[in-house]
Amino acid sequence: MYNSHGKILHISQIPVFDRPREKLRDKGVAALTDVELIAVFLGAGTAKTSVLKLAELVSNAVDESDPKTLFSRLMKIPGIGEARAFSICAAMEFVRRKKFPAVNKIHCASDVYAWLRPYCDKKQEHFIVFTINGGNEIMVRRVITVGLLNSSQIHPREVFADAIADRAASIILAHNHPSGNTDPSPEDIFITKKLQRSGEILGVNILDHLVFSHSGYTSFLEKGML
């Protein structure tokens, strides 16, 4: 929970009616932010770190890690020991299986957009790469960079290294626009063309690039821009 200066408050500093557990009880689970949901899951912080600050660190780790690296990333957070890291990873996998119960096959941009929902309301741009197998199934979703998107940040080696390691047949790019406007910027177009050329050399095809927000998405493929 943040005060007017943007600082995380300790639970004891938050009015009782606005504390995560009480809010869940009185308003329902949908009323909680991601950080508040994790705070309820964690239950308590540490002597040095409030549960809300700890929850924020966990939320960042989840956003910026893939399933293979999440456990090790969580273990680097003071106050998250093995037991909590195991529980968080197990909970994430359980939710993933319930939300995507069958295979992770995609047919169109709207299928990919369903996988981008957790990032729709992020206040910073997240550049995401999906590795895709030969059956058009999503193998892994990874956050490559966080922050203002520019061509100096998005280097082909960062985008294609994991795709090659995964033995992916192709990839799908995506990034959010916190403004809500999903029109690709000139920089977005430049980055996409640059990566497309690299993919052709490496033999890893870029299927699509989605610019998205909470209000929807723009698909480079559907717009004839790929």
Architecture of domain 109-219 in this structure: 3-Layer(aba) Sandwich (3.40)
Residue 130 is encoded by which pair of tokens? 């999906």
pLDDT in tens, 138-172: 999 999 988 876 666 788 888 999 999 988 999 99
pLDDT along the chain (226 residues), means of 10: 44 63 84 88 87 91 87 94 93 75 78 92 92 87 83 81 90 94 93 94 94 95 93
CA distances from 87 to 38, 41, 52, 127 (A): 12, 9, 18, 27
In the chain, where are the structural domains located? 11-99, 109-219
pTM here?
A: 0.59
Q: Which residue has the tokens 């992770």?
A: 104
